[in-house]
Structure 1
Amino acid sequence: MSVVRFGSSKRLSDVAVFGKTVYLTGQVGSEAASLGDQTRSVLASIDRLLALAGTDKSNVIQATIWLADRSDFPGMNAVWDEWVDKSNPPARSTAQVDLLVPGQKVEITVVAALPD
């Protein structure tokens, strides 16, 4: 079984698919945007990349969310709650970290399954 990659550069791939599992690289929003706008942009990118791989948010197995500021947790959750498939919520972890690019407030990565 081989790995299928999308959006690859010398450093990373936006998407890697192995078997029926889809791995996305961490998605970040524009540094100038508000937390809500960054989160919506990140989730839109996730939707686009999942579609590229042949799946969607209803098949997300696990999500990891990194926030630059823990006080942004409620605001990020409000946007997440609008986006997440309420019938199929993934396992999820959220942590506060020092994101590498100044102005970035949120980074999200997901692992998803391909549908049967």
Structure 2
Amino acid sequence: MNEIKRLDQNARRSRALIHNGLVYLSGQVPDDRTGGVEEQARQVLKKIDDLLAEAGTSRARLLSAQIWLKTMDDFAAFNGVWDAWVTPGETPTRCCGKVELNDPKCLVEIVAIAAL
């Protein structure tokens, strides 16, 4: 039987789940929602880096990312932060869309999957 390891789990969710050589990250959002999309994106990407490190992997092993923006007006600004963050030559599959997030001050949320 393949073990399932959960990281930072509570009654509602696990921030990350490791199974069968993959790390599944729940939706990561910024803690400080007072800044613009660039600042919020940097916070979210730092959280992703930290969770991947805790799981024993890194952004270079990302397989897929789902990016949710409050408004597509932030698409270019978000991409500037994203493009500087991803590992050149190791970019994951990706989608990006506009969604209504659970907090009106939240401008970005990212869900990701990585290989160990």
- TM-score bucket of the superposed structures, by smaller chain: over 0.9
Residue 69 (structure 2) aligned to one of 61, 67, 70: 67
Give the C-alpha shift of residue 73 in structure 1. 0.2
Whichever residue aligns with residue 15 of structure 2, its letter is D
- Quick check: 1:77 aligned with 2:79? yes
Contact conserved, 1:31 with 1:102, CA < 8 A, in 2?
no
- CA deviations 1:56-77 (Å, max 9, x no partner) are 0000000000000110000000
- Quick check: 1:87 aligned with 2:89? yes
Q: TM-score, normalised by structure 1?
A: 0.96
Distance 2:60 2:37 in 1: 24
Unaligned runs of 5+ in 2: none
Partner residue in 2 for 1:7: 8
Aligned-pair identity in percent equals: 39
Counterpart secondary structure, 1:108: strand
Counterpart secondary structure, 1:81: helix
Whichever residue aligns with residue 6 of structure 2, its letter is R
- Quick check: 1:106 aligned with 2:93? no
Whichever residue aligns with residue 10 of structure 2, its letter is S
Distance 2:33 2:68 in 1: 15
- CA deviations 1:58-102 (Å, max 9, x no partner) are 000000000001100000000000000112000000000011111
Whichever residue aligns with residue 107 of structure 1, its letter is E
- CA deviations 1:26-78 (Å, max 9, x no partner) are 11112212111000000000000000000000000000000001100000000
Which runs of 4 or more aligned residues in structure 1 lie more than 4 Å from their structure 2 counterparts after TM superposition?
none
Give the C-alpha shift of residue 2 in structure 1. 1.7
Whichever residue aligns with residue 104 of structure 2, its letter is P
Equivalent pairs counted in the alignment come to 114
Q: TM-score, normalised by structure 2?
A: 0.96
